[in-house]
Amino acid sequence: MTALATGAATWTLPEPRPQRSVAFVFQGGGSLSAPQVGMLRALAEAGITPDFVIGSSAGALNAVAYASDPTEAGLQRLENLWLTLRRRSVAGISARTLVRAIAGRGDGLFDAAPLGQLLRSDLVASELDRTRIRSHVVATGLLSGEPVVMSTGDTASALLASSAFPGIYAPVTRGGLRLVDGGVSADIPILQAEALGATASFVLPAAGSDERGAAPRGPLAIAYHALGQILDSTARRDSRAAQGEVHLLPPAMSTATNPMDFRETGRLIRDGYELAANWLDTWAGRPGSANEAAYA
Report pLDDT digits (tens) over 155-164: 999 999 999 8
pLDDT one-digit tens code per residue, 33-83:
999 999 999 999 999 999 999 999 999 999 999 999 999 999 999 999 999
Band the pLDDT of 12: cuts 50, 70, 90: low
Distance of CA 34 to the CA centre of its chain: 11
Q: Across residues 7-29, what is the average pLDDT? A: 74
Q: What mean pLDDT value characterizes the chain?
A: 83
How far apart are the C-alpha atoms of 62 and 206, rounded to whole Å?
A: 11
Q: What is the pLDDT of residue 10?
A: 57
How far apart are the C-alpha atoms of 138 and 177, rounded to whole Å?
A: 13
Q: Across residues 133-157, what is the average pLDDT? A: 97
* 86-116 as b/e: b if 16+ CB within 10 A: ebeebbbeeeebeeebeeeeebbbbbbebbb
Band the pLDDT of 137: cuts 50, 70, 90: very high
Q: By percentage, how much of the chain surpasses pLDDT 70?
A: 74
Q: Is the pLDDT of residue 182 over 50?
A: yes
Q: What is the pLDDT of residue 50?
A: 98
Distance linking the first and last C-alpha atoms of the chain: 33
Q: Across residues 23-29, what is the average pLDDT? A: 95
According to DSSP, the residues that pair with 22 across neighbouring strands are 200
pTM beyond 0.95: no
CA atoms within 13 A on the CB side of 10: 4
According to DSSP, the residues that pair with 135 across neighbouring strands are 53
Q: What is the pLDDT of residue 3?
A: 53
Q: Is the pLDDT of residue 146 over 90?
A: yes
Q: Is the pLDDT of residue 294 over 50?
A: no
pLDDT one-digit tens code per residue, 228-279:
555 566 667 777 788 999 999 999 998 876 788 899 999 999 999 999 999 9
Instruction: Identify which has the larger pLDDT, 293 or 157.
Output: 157
Q: What is the pLDDT of residue 241?
A: 84
Nearest to 181 by CA among 225, 236, 231, 217: 231
Angle, alpha carbons 190-146-294 (nearest 5°): 30
Q: Are 141 and 179 in contact (CB under 8 A)?
A: yes
Q: Is the pLDDT of residue 224 over 50?
A: yes
